[in-house]
Homo-oligomer: A and B are copies of this chain.
Amino acid sequence: MDHVLLKGVIAYAITPFDRQEKVDIPLFQQLVERLVVSGAHAIAPLGSTGVLPYLTDEEKEAVTEATIRQVAGRVPTLVGVSNLTTERTIYHARFAEKAGASAVMIIPMSYWKLTDDEVVAHYDAVASRISIPVMAYNNPATGGVDMSPALLKRLLEIPNVTMIKESTGDVQRMHYLRRELGEEVAFYNGSNPLALSAFAAGATGWCTAAPNLIPELNTALFDAIQQNDYSTARELFYQQVDLLKFIVNTGLPRAIKAGLELYGVEAGELRSPLKPLTENENTILNTIISNIKN
């Protein structure tokens, strides 16, 4: 199995809603198209950015199909299929595979903290039912489970769990992964403010919603890294770091929607209880974006 199927800037799409808070599939496809043509190296629907946990089964299926239809093989797709129960996770993973996804991403969502054995059994039950690669996603701040590096190592023993996405914001986790797992295992950075550190540490890719707003800066950073030119990478990073921190701090779906509108791009509505940025937050975002343009 190809361990480096995904590489570079993996762009996360938002899920836009109409005024009745129904998923707006046509608008979703437009937003996916923007990501593809702006140079993203892969497209990832149904992540945190895409408010996966707020969607019904039918909505998730519609978003999955719309993604694959729109991307049409131009770049790989990485579809989020996480669910609280193992049974539903299997269901959506199989759906994504059949629909044509390149890979699936799974975060062990929890209400009750899961034991390590429960997490391993969960991944194993899902991965064994599909043939496409699985990215194990660690993000305790949203998912509620913090998978230790030792647990991630156990997950990688499952044949098609081949990628790790680390979003704890602790670059030392990445050092450990690299030391412990060797160079053949791909790890991905999911913490936007760590983009530079993670690439320096050897990350294969950057999972980010930022390409919805600043795709050129995101891909230019990756290009500089590829060329081993960190002076340039550092300069590019400091140009975008304020935006990267802002979208994380205010929440990706809310921040990306607001940013798109500042760029004059239609972004639809949010689903309650999520609400638009406050006026004050909007002003800060506007300033950050203006500073980047200059």
Contact = CB atoms under 8 A, between A and B. Distances in A.
Q: Is the interface of A mostly helix, strand, loop or mixed?
A: helix
A254 B169 CA distance: 29
A102 B21 CA distance: 31
Interface stretch (A35-43, A91-99, A209-217, A267-275): A267-275
A68 B9 CA distance: 51
Nearest to A111: B53
A150 interface: no
Interface string A181-206: 00000000000011011001110000
A272 to B, nearest CB: 4
A175 B238 CA distance: 8
Interface size class of A (residues with CB under 8 A): 35 or more
A85 B271 contact: yes
A118 interface: yes
A86 interface: yes
Contact of A113 (B114, B233, B251, B271): B251
Interface in A211-250: 225, 228-231, 233-234, 238, 241-242, 245
Contacts of A87: 21, 271-272
Interface stretch (A26-34, A69-77, A119-127): A119-127
Contact of A115 (B48, B197, B275): B275
Nearest to A272: B86
B118 A273 contact: yes
A112 B200 contact: no
Interface in A246-260: 251-254
A85 B193 contact: no
A16 interface: no
A121 B275 contact: yes
Contact of A85 (B86, B119, B251, B272): B272
A288 B86 CA distance: 31
A111 B272 contact: no
Given A51-B112, A122-B272, A175-B238, 13 more contacts: A48-B112, A54-B85, A85-B271, A87-B272, A111-B142, A121-B273, A144-B144, A171-B171, A172-B193, A179-B241, A179-B242, A196-B201, A228-B230
30 contacts: A48-B112, A51-B111, A53-B84, A53-B111, A85-B272, A86-B272, A86-B273, A87-B271, A108-B273, A112-B251, A112-B253, A112-B254, A113-B141, A114-B273, A115-B278, A118-B274, A118-B275, A121-B273, A122-B273, A169-B172, A175-B193, A175-B241, A178-B238, A179-B241, A179-B242, A196-B201, A200-B234, A228-B229, A228-B231, A230-B230
3 A-B pairs with least C-beta separation:
A86-B272, A197-B197, A122-B273
